[in-house]
Amino acid sequence: MTSRSSGAELKKIIADMVRALGYECVGTEIGSARGAPLIRVYIDSPGGVRHADCELVSRSVSERIDGAEGEGVRFFQGKYFIEVSSPGIERPLFTEEHYERFAGRDAAVVAKNSGKVAGQIVSCANGALTMKTRDGAVASIPFGEIKRGNLVYAEDACAKKNARQ
């Protein structure tokens, strides 16, 4: 008999596997693409992420998912896709620790009740994200209300000035 496993369980398995391989598991998203499940895994390491790192993680995750069926656990019916990458310059933010780590940086979040909020991360403490918006207002968003968030690349004013010279 095969039992169906939850997305939360799969995310935990993937995070543990990524850490065991020596990488930071920035986050995992489970969605769909081309009519099949899509597992998107973001990894990082102090020396950066190379194509070979993504390949290793992708193969390992695929082997674990496929091997789980032999143990009586099914994550997906039929085919699925795996996408492994570095978080990139506009890094997605998944946890309160991510928001706190990037305090002072520009970010954009989509919240359930307040929609999109963009500005500078002031802090993330006591279950709430505090941001200073571009118009100078301060927004406090309960962490549980955040649907998704990411850093926003802001080109340094000095770099713009130097580029013009």
CATH architecture under which domain 96-153 falls = Roll (2.30)
Q: What pLDDT score does 4 carry?
A: 52
Q: Rounded to an integer, what distance in angstroms lies between the CA atom of residue 124 and that of residue 103?
A: 8
Spans of all domains in the chain: 3-85, 96-153
Helix, strand, coil percentages (3-state) for the chain, rounded to 5, are 30, 40, 30
Question: In terms of pLDDT, which residue wins out, 2 or 25?
Answer: 25
Architecture of domain 3-85: 2-Layer Sandwich (3.30)
pLDDT digits (tens, 9 = 90+) for 59-105: 999 999 888 777 777 788 888 999 999 999 999 999 999 999 999 99
Q: pTM for this one?
A: 0.81
